[in-house]
Structure 1
Amino acid sequence: MSNSLVWRRRTLPNGLTVLLYPRASSNTAQLSVAVKYGSIQEPKEQAGIAHFLEHMLAGGSDRRIQLSRSIEDSGGVLDFYTDREYVLGTVDVLPHKLRDASAILSELFFGNAFDEQKFETEQKIILHELAEVADDPPTRAEELLLEGLFKEHPVRRPVGGYPKTVETLTLNRLRQEHQANYVPQNMVLVLSGNFTEKDAVEALGNFQNCKCAGSISEKAYPTETFKPDPLTVEEKPGLTQTYLSVGARTVCSSHPDAPALDLISILLGGGTSSRLFIELREKNAVTYDVDCTHSKGFSFGYFSINCAANSKTAEKAKSLIFKELAKLQSEPVSEGELERAKQIMLGGVLRGMDNPDAALDILAFIEIQYGDEHALESYLAKRKALTSAEIQKVAAKYLNQDCLCTVKLKPT
């Protein structure tokens, strides 16, 4: 496998994990910080606090707003987002601005000054954001799917939380969570793109003196044992189509079956040559598009198939999906189709690593899941070695009809 899928990894004395991924062909340099505190680490009654904290990093005081805008003043881009297992902040700047950008990112993440007035402003903004999310049919269908698949695991909760929990959060509580979780040993710094060794030393210098604040305790997550809800139907005003989501609980990222489930998602929904695209769109014209995803983290996994169809064809779309899942379990995948899926998956990873924004996300995700600079190379090797028999066995284990949950979000 190419050395382009391996990066340098080190740990600073204060516990901060650093990943270095230079690319001489890049015209800019990228720096990101991932905090291992996402929505699944939150207490249930404070759902949305990790996302709220992410908002406060860039908008929590006049000083923070000024720092954030200074990145743009020098031609750079600053971005933040919250996922289930981490918050990620990234900057993409001209190489000679890297040291200044690292100082800004360090202050935004480790600084503890937040303003009450800005807290109230961001609270209003987040409530608007949650309202927009609630209006999005695919997002609502996924929320219903997760509620049907998980009863105890916090992955069932929306990343942004709920309006009722966001409204009860306080600035004091945000400060406590920031102090407890925004510490070097709970973070991953990624430096990629066009930079020299001298640039790296100067950039890391802005993070060397950030101090540890005790140990981070490992959270235990519940194991789901119940049978998923077979069908959830919800009506939503204003829709013209029925949004269909079919899914199943699977395994976490480190489980031996995870690579096979990833490849199955490509076989079913990876591009115009995939089984579901051909059956649902080309042959039967019951939908415009269909996607298939295997989502996983260090404590959860789920498989999902999503499409939209009109009320008359929604049931047919569901039947076609079930038919393809059954076929995958009863008939071996041909060598040609299996190899095509492997190539599609490899191409997707390589294109991701060529994309500055996607590469930062990939490196942070791989580090958080596996803690190994060779993990991506190893994972792709496992996928490449998969056989048709293994695909059939894994499909039967996780995607049989008794394991499935179906969601229909339909017009009133």
Structure 2
Amino acid sequence: MKTIDQVHLRNQHLDSKTLSIHSNLVFFTLSIVLFSIFILLPIDTFADVLIPSNEYIGYYDANDVYTVGGNVKNQNDFAVLPIISVSVIDGTNTVTKTLSHVPIPAMTDIPFKMKFPEIKNDKPILLEADLKYLVTEKPSTSLEIVYDKTLITHDDGHVTGRIKNSGNQTVFYPKIFAIVHGHNSVLDIVQNIEFIEKIEPGQILGFSMYPDPAITDDVFYYSCFAPVDTTVIPVTAKKNDGLFDFRYDSGAWYSAAKFNEEGTTLTMRGYNSYPLETYANFEFPPISGTEKFSVTLNDEPVEFIQSIDEMGFWHVAFLVEPTSQGVLKISGFEKGLPPELPKIPQWIKVNAEWWTTNQISDSDFLEGIDFLFEKQIISVPERDVISESQWKIPQWVKISTEWWTTNQISDDEFLNMIESLVKQNIMIV
């Protein structure tokens, strides 16, 4: 490890976010609502949300990309959604990027990592992060690290352990973050390399984390293990005189997203410097809903899976070869920008219409309502998980549901009604 100074390290290592994908991958939905009501608070209002200076570093990774890592500690008795602005001085220029991190439950901490491919200076200056946060109602996660003899740091520097779901609900696409320490300093922020589709209540699954081979001799211990729900990286690219927002989840890293003049081909530069196969999963809002994509890397065809989720978003997923990099192109976009998608998936509205005309049963209709809770489109504190046989709904709800299916009341009014009925135990699902 080459030291620039005690804050800015130049390590030749990389992200260990690597994992595998299989052909029947069930994709996560873009429109998960992670929280309901937030209050914006500056960091100087509550000093109990902080990034310790000894857990905040800047360094060059194995691809010579300047990377900033840190650890956000929430010492409050409520959950927060941190908003982190990181600035780096590159010669005469200052580059600033802002990250809206995942919600952090009370009395926990979660590491983060940001990439700065624009930085080219041999001695960049990492400034103190600007940290604000939103107060959220998100409860503590039901995921926990099993701290026993199975949590092992191996001779080659990688760590293996187990994660347990101690709650009563299935958690989809969890990840585990951690800080890698040397004897005298933080070396990197890493995450599990395995793809975990879901973890059922009471289930225990194994995970592993690998440091960059260049720093294996320097690894002393891991700390701040933080299991979280899926995190995805938001990206905005200019498209047909507007802005096109999309997201991706990957063990690789992608940058410099841009569309061609027609707005039909998206180009990015991708990196996977780790010597293990990983995956990439891109989520795109539909324009026509009939798009047919194609994928190339360095102009060579890439085998991929195209699917559409319950919320109507496209997913394009493929494997990423070990220690690979190049120009990724995804073609097949329609010209123009996506229309605004409804808050409630269309299939739920169709189900509701069939229910009001007695074409489907109560339980079939309530499956759609249960989906709204699963995706946190609506939420009720401390909602118990019960079997379908215990679901119930008053028949008079059909009247207001019919008003919704015939557009006499809005989506928001319908959602507020359902939330109120469940809170009062008038409707059980």
TM-score tier after normalising by the smaller chain length: under 0.3
Compare the two structures and name the one with the higher strand fraction.
Answer: 2
Q: TM-score, normalised by structure 2?
A: 0.26
Give me the TM-score of the superposition, normalised by structure 1. 0.27
